[in-house]
């Protein structure tokens, strides 16, 4: 079974969609390898979202959250083991990096770590200049005069009288 799709024919006929095709190709390539830590994406309102990651065993100072150019990056690096002699190690403590592509105007507003769950609150805030606005039609200005053949004839008759 093929895991990737060739977007080359579409690239030739679609102008300005290079970023979209790059995102599709990179997400398809990295989705198989990028499955730790597991996460939930929750819509809390029309413009409000929450991402919850299961990061059991990580402390606040071992997790780094960065938002840059429509990409949210969450990295986890485990500290030392304090010299513990493990007989069996079943709790995953490997380092991770999880990336999320953010839509335009989506900002991370809060992050909280409790009970092994990292919760990130996101809000989409569209700038006032980008929001649609209603334009009222004014009726105070005089209507423009359209000269037609009939109105020109009427003007000539009035001048002759």
76: number of Cβ within 10 Å: 22
**Domain extents in the chain:** 1-33, 38-81+88-133
pLDDT at 115: 93
User: Which of 3.40.309.10, 3.90.190.10, 2.60.40.790, 3.40.190.10 is the CATH number of 38-81+88-133?
Assistant: 2.60.40.790
Going by C-beta distance under 8 Å and a sequence separation of 6 or more, which residues neighbour residue 34? 98, 99
Cβ contact 121:48 at 8 Å: yes
Strands (E) across 47-159 are located at 48-54, 63-68, 71-76, 96-101, 106-114, 117-124
Q: How far apart are CA 31 and CA 151, in angstroms?
A: 73
Residue 75 phi, psi dihedral angles, 5° rounding: -120, 140
Query: Which pTM does this prediction carry?
Result: 0.61
Q: How far apart, in whole angstroms, are the C-alpha atoms of residue 159 and residue 10? A: 68
φ/ψ of 122, rounded to 5, equals -120, 145
DSSP 96: E
Consecutive 10-residue runs of the chain (161 residues): their mean pLDDT?
A: 58 57 59 75 90 92 92 89 81 86 89 95 86 84 60 62 59
**Can you name the residues that pair with 72 across neighbouring β-strands?**
67, 100
């Amino acid at each position: 079974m093929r895991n990737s799709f060739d977007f080359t024919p579409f690239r030739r006929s679609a102008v300005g969609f290079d970023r979209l095709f790059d995102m599709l190709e990179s997400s398809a390539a990295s989705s198989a390898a990028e499955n730790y830590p597991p996460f939930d994406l929750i819509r809390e309102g029309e413009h409000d979202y929450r991402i919850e990651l299961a990061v059991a065993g990580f402390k606040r100072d071992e997790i780094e959250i960065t938002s840059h150019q429509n990409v949210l990056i969450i990295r986890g690096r485990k500290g030392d083991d304090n010299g513990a002699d493990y007989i069996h190690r079943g709790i995953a403590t490997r380092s991770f990096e999880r990336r999320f592509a953010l839509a335009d105007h989506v900002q991370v507003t809060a992050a909280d770590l409790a009970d092994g769950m990292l919760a990130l609150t996101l809000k989409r805030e569209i700038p006032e200049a980008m929001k649609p606005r209603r334009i009222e039609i004014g009726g105070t200005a005089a209507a423009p005069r359209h000269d037609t053949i009939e109105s020109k004839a009427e003007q000539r008759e009035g001048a002759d009288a």
